[in-house]
């Protein structure tokens, strides 16, 4: 009898090991969330979600909570697994770290607050639960985060080239010549669900919805904001061009201290009357 029990136990262990070797089962074991050495628990995340998130994002995670009708912009629909604030290429799933960072910092100029007061483990648990709303997390892997090259010096040449790109790429049609988010196309813009969406107002803003650093802004150009009219420029912009755009956009922010704005203001002092306005044919400088 003892030998039989021992033999049975060995068979069970062997079967368990074989099951883990099956790709589908192995993947199922890893559908949680992993951030900074912490592993998220979806069951725990569900409790936290029902306490703090359900009013906006809804019980089904579809962005149709009881408060959603009063919110602009609308809460994210997790069932689509379409996220704007990512480090990964356009059209790909974000990393667990991306979702964690969004929960942590919140989304400025929206009703999504920072959840920094929650413990890191609680935030990772929330990430794990959010991923249960879409089957995409079972069939797709997150994209590989883009590489952000070292930032070059913020020189007047970089700023002027960025200004030229801003004009040539017609960024002003949405963001406006002064970066106020009031370009001629601004009132026509909608998101993937047909809801009106406002271009970012650089002039009044001090923080982007995805962060606040130059690297965060560079990342927007190269990943795009999925579900919005803001595309990825990874296939059309060289890294240096993207950095030049970053440096020019910083000149449009009077409430943000930056080297780019300083060099631009010095340039303006000695080139009055020589700077062509943006938003007209061949703005040049």
pLDDT, one tens digit per residue, over 80-125 is 999 999 999 999 999 999 999 999 999 888 899 999 999 999 999 9
Give dist(CA 200, CA 97) in Å, integer. 24
Whether cis (ω within 30° of 0) applies to the bond prior to 73 is yes
pLDDT value, residue 28: 38
Other C-beta atoms closer than 10 Å to the C-beta of 248 total 26
Tell me the average pLDDT across 240-261.
96
Q: Which residue has the tokens 């074991």?
A: 29
Length of the chain: 285
Please name the residue ranges forming H helices in 146-258: 156-168, 172-175, 214-223, 239-251
Cα four-point dihedral sign 84, 92, 87, 65: positive
Nearest to 101 by CA among 87, 81, 82, 80: 87
pLDDT value, residue 31: 62
pLDDT value, residue 209: 77
Q: Do residues 106 and 115 make contact, with C-beta atoms less than 8 angstroms apart?
A: yes
pLDDT value, residue 52: 96
β-bridge pairing 38-40 and 33-35 = antiparallel
Nearest to 48 by CA among 124, 100, 136: 124
User: Which token pair is 10?
Assistant: 């060995």
Q: pLDDT confidence of 133, banded at 50, 70, 90?
A: very high
Least confident span in 63-67, 209-213, 259-263: 209-213
Spell 13-44 as b/e; 16+ CB within 10 A means b.
eeeeeeeeeeeeeeeeeeebbbbeebebbbeb
Number of alpha carbons in the 13 Å side-chain half-sphere of residue 258: 23
Backbone angles phi, psi at 161, to 5 degrees: -70, -40
pLDDT in tens, 61-85: 999 999 999 998 899 999 999 999 9
Q: pLDDT confidence of 18, banded at 50, 70, 90?
A: very low
User: Would you say residue 153 has pLDDT above 70?
Assistant: yes
Q: Which residue has the higher pLDDT, 53 or 209?
A: 53
Beta carbons within 8 Å of 4's beta carbon, 6+ residues apart: none
User: Would you say residue 12 has pLDDT above 70?
Assistant: no
Q: Which residue has the higher pLDDT, 6 or 100?
A: 100
């Amino acid at each position: 009898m003892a030998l039989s029990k021992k033999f049975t136990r060995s068979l069970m262990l062997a079967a368990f090991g074989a099951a883990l070797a099956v790709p589908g089962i192995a993947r199922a074991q890893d559908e949680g969330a992993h951030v900074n050495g912490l592993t998220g628990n979806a069951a725990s995340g569900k409790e936290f979600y029902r306490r703090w998130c359900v009013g906006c994002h809804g019980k089904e995670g579809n962005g149709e909570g009881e408060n959603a009708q009063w919110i602009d912009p609308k809460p994210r629909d997790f069932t689509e697994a379409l996220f704007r604030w990512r480090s990964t290429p356009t059209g790909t799933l974000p990393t667990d770290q991306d979702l964690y960072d969004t929960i942590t910092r919140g989304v400025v100029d929206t009703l999504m607050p920072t959840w920094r007061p929650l413990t890191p483990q609680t935030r990772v648990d929330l990430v794990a639960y959010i991923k249960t709303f879409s089957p995409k997390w079972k069939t797709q892997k997150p994209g590989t985060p883009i590489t952000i090259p070292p930032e070059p010096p913020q020189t007047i040449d970089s700023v002027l080239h960025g200004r030229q790109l801003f004009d040539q790429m017609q960024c002003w049609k949405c963001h406006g010549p002064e970066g106020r988010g009031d370009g001629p196309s601004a009132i026509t813009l909608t998101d993937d669900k047909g809801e009106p969406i406002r271009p970012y107002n650089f002039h009044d803003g001090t923080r982007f919805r995805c962060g606040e650093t130059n690297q965060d802004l560079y990342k927007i150009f190269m990943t795009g904001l999925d579900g919005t009219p803001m595309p990825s420029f990874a296939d059309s912009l060289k890294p240096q061009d993207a950095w030049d755009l970053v440096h020019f956009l910083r000149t449009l922010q009077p409430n943000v201290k930056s080297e780019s704005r300083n060099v631009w203001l010095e340039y303006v002092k000695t080139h009055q009357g020589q700077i062509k306005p943006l938003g007209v044919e061949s703005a040049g400088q």
